[in-house]
């Protein structure tokens, strides 16, 4: 189940209680309706809650459109046009940062270091292979000329 949309009637329920309890009754009616239709506990999102309470305790909306989203084990009811929240990674607290310093670096940094070491080793291997390769014919000729020139200079001295 990815998401479902419901239009929930609230007026019938909140008319049964005194004016000063209407928004609270609307929220409980929402919970009862969703539990009845989905057979599970449902959390009410912050935008839906603020919509119900927006006009105060005495005058909640008569009906409301709701989008139900499922995350692993949780069901969340939210206004149909409410923005979807993206889960962010938690920032590390001071204690966790100190633990990292004592224990060592974080896993990501370790992985990056390992990768850089591997790349460095590969580059060294390539350089060694280039050194050990047999020189080309042109290289042999230039090397021979250089030796001859060096010998002649030694003789002249």
Same domain for 42 and 73, yes or no, is: yes
Same domain for 44 and 11, yes or no, is: yes
Range of the domain at 34: 3-79
pTM above 0.85, yes or no: no
Output the tens digit of pLDDT for each of the chain's 157 residues: 578 999 999 999 999 999 999 999 999 999 999 999 999 999 999 999 999 999 999 999 999 999 999 888 889 999 999 988 776 766 777 777 777 777 766 667 777 778 778 878 887 888 777 777 655 555 556 666 677 777 777 776 6
- State both tokens at 76: 């969340």
Same domain for 52 and 104, yes or no, is: no
CA angle 49, 23, 19 (to 5 degrees): 165
Q: Is residue 34 part of a domain?
A: yes
Q: Is residue 84 part of a domain?
A: no
Domains contained in the chain, number? 2
Contacts (Cβ under 8 Å, ≥6 apart) of 36: none
Q: Is residue 40 part of a domain?
A: yes
Q: Is residue 88 part of a domain?
A: no
């Amino acid at each position: 189940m990815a998401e479902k949309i419901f239009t929930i009637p609230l007026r019938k329920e909140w008319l049964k209680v005194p004016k000063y309890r209407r928004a609270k009754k609307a929220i409980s009616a929402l919970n009862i309706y969703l539990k009845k239709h989905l057979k599970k506990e449902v959390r009410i999102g912050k935008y839906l809650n603020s919509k119900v309470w927006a006009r105060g305790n005495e005058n909640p909306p008569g009906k409301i459109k709701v989008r139900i989203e499922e995350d692993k084990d949780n069901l969340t009811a939210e206004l149909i046009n409410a923005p979807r929240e993206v889960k962010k990674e938690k920032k590390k607290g001071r204690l966790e940062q100190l633990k990292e310093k004592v224990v060592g670096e974080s896993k990501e940094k370790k992985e990056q270091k390992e990768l850089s070491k591997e790349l460095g080793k590969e580059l060294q291997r390539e350089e060694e292979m280039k050194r050990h390769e047999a020189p080309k014919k042109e290289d042999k000729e230039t090397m021979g000329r250089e030796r001859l020139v060096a010998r002649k200079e030694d003789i002249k001295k």
